[in-house]
Amino acid sequence: MAYWLMKSEPDEVSIDDALAAPNQTVPWFGVRNYQARNFMRDGMQVGDGVLFYHSSCPEPGIAGLAEVASAAYPDDTQFDPNSHYYDAKSKREEPRWLMVDVKAVRKTRLLSLAQLRTIPELDDMVVLQKGSRLSITPVTPAQWKTLQALLK
Q: Give the footprint of DNA on this chain (CB under 7 A).
A: 7, 32-35, 55-57, 60, 89, 113-114, 130-135
Closer residue to DNA in complex, CB, 69/135: 135
- Looking at the Cβ atoms of 76 and 87, the one nearer to DNA is 87
Identify which of residues 11 and 46 has a Cβ nearer to DNA in the complex: 11
Distance, C-alpha 145 to centroid of its chain: 18
Cβ distance to DNA smaller for residue 1 or 3: 3
Least Å distance, CB 85 to DNA, is: 9
Instruction: Please state the closest distance from residue 23 (CB atom) to DNA, in A.
Output: 26
CB of 34 to DNA, least distance (A): 4
CB of 35 to DNA, least distance (A): 6
Q: How far is the CB of 22 from DNA (least distance, A)?
A: 26
Q: Exposure string (b/e) for 56-95, b if CB count within 10 Å is 16 or more? A: eeeebbbbbbbbbbbebeebebbbeeeeebebeebeeeee
Nearer to DNA, 11 or 47 (CB): 11
